Amino acid sequence: MTYGPGDTISVAADTLNMPEPRAEFSIGRIIPVASPEKELNITPGPASVPGPDYLSVIRRMEGQPRPPQIINTDISFILLSLSLLIFTFLAVFGRRSFTNSFSSLSFRKPGETTLPGTSEVFSWPPLFRNLFTIIVISLFAAISLITTGATSPRIPGGIAGLTAILAGSFLAALLIRHLTCMVVGAMSGLKNSFREYMNIVYNTWFVSSIILFLLALIILFVPLNNTLPVIIAGIIVVFIILIIRALRLLVIFRIRHISLFYYILYLCALEVLPLLVTLKILGVF
């Protein structure tokens, strides 16, 4: 039995070899046909039974499978949006604290201003500034650990849980450093020097977090084949700012006529030792 070009054949649905459902596809706005050089002659064919006409089938090219997402971008977007809201709030209502964060990194001799004490650190401008710092640095660290394969993306809580753990650890480290500097400063009679140093510590982390915020946006929402160069760039930026912080500590000791021996001692205790402990915990050596 032969069929003409306009005839149709009724086939039971369970006898067809249907392709298995696939994951998501990235197909763009237009799905190209299998043979774009040929003209598409779409002619309606008559149906075997009364009803709507059927269009002849045009075979489309298969889409490219999208790789599965290893990072929950929804949670990351919420955290970045919250950070941006805090940053905007500081820029509008806490402009003085915002500008002091950058001016404190200058190597010029500062004017005689009142340095923030422990009570001032917990006032609303420094509190929001440190909150922005903790969220951004913890999120960037979590993204770096997951995308580089250092941590499994299937950890309990996902990126939100890992960010919370890193945020708690970073906050604890800041508080321990703050209390240590206050105790040592009170015992050594160099209270103002250590208060100025702690102010620089908070400001350097804030400046670093602004740059890491931009890099986190690039990693999450820019289609990159390899995110490792962006992560390395963020590490280099943080390392450079840490060097600036160590040099600012030297400037503080020189201005206040403190012995270079004390500078080396405090530099090892406040900068080198915490870094070595962190690297040891991460299993670097």
- Give dist(CA 81, CA 121) in Å, integer: 24
Please state the φ and ψ torsions of residue 271, each to the nearest 5 degrees.
Answer: -120, -55
Q: How confident is the model at residue 183 (pLDDT cuts 50, 70, 90)?
A: confident
71-93 tens-digit pLDDT:
777 888 999 999 999 999 888 88
Look at residue 279 and tell me whether its pLDDT is greater than 60: yes
Please state the φ and ψ torsions of residue 60, each to the nearest 5 degrees.
Answer: -95, 155
Choice between 213 and 197, residue whose per-residue pLDDT is larger: 213
141-177 tens-digit pLDDT:
999 888 887 777 677 777 888 899 889 888 888 888 8
Look at residue 270 and tell me whether its pLDDT is greater than 50: yes
Q: Are 23 and 16 in contact (CB under 8 A)?
A: no
Can you tell me the mean pLDDT for 41-61?
52
pLDDT score at 28: 47
Look at residue 1 and tell me whether its pLDDT is greater than 60: no
- Give dist(CA 133, CA 120) in Å, integer: 17
pLDDT score at 84: 93
pLDDT score at 285: 56
**Percent of the chain clearing pLDDT 70 (strictly above):** 64
Alpha helices, H only, the chain:
73-93, 95-103, 118-121, 124-147, 158-188, 191-221, 228-255, 260-267, 273-281
- Give dist(CA 59, CA 35) in Å, integer: 9
Q: How confident is the model at residue 209 (pLDDT cuts 50, 70, 90)?
A: very high
Highest mean pLDDT among 4-18, 106-120, 188-202, 210-224: 210-224
95-122 tens-digit pLDDT:
777 777 777 676 665 544 444 555 555 5
Neighbouring CB atoms inside 10 A of 103's CB total: 10
pLDDT score at 117: 52
pLDDT score at 113: 45
Q: What is the mean pLDDT of the chain?
A: 74
Q: Are 23 and 61 in contact (CB under 8 A)?
A: no
Lowest mean pLDDT among 5-9, 124-128, 162-166, 268-272: 5-9
Q: What angle do CA 74, 77, 78 make, to 5 degrees?
A: 90
Greatest distance between any 2 Cα atoms in the chain: 106
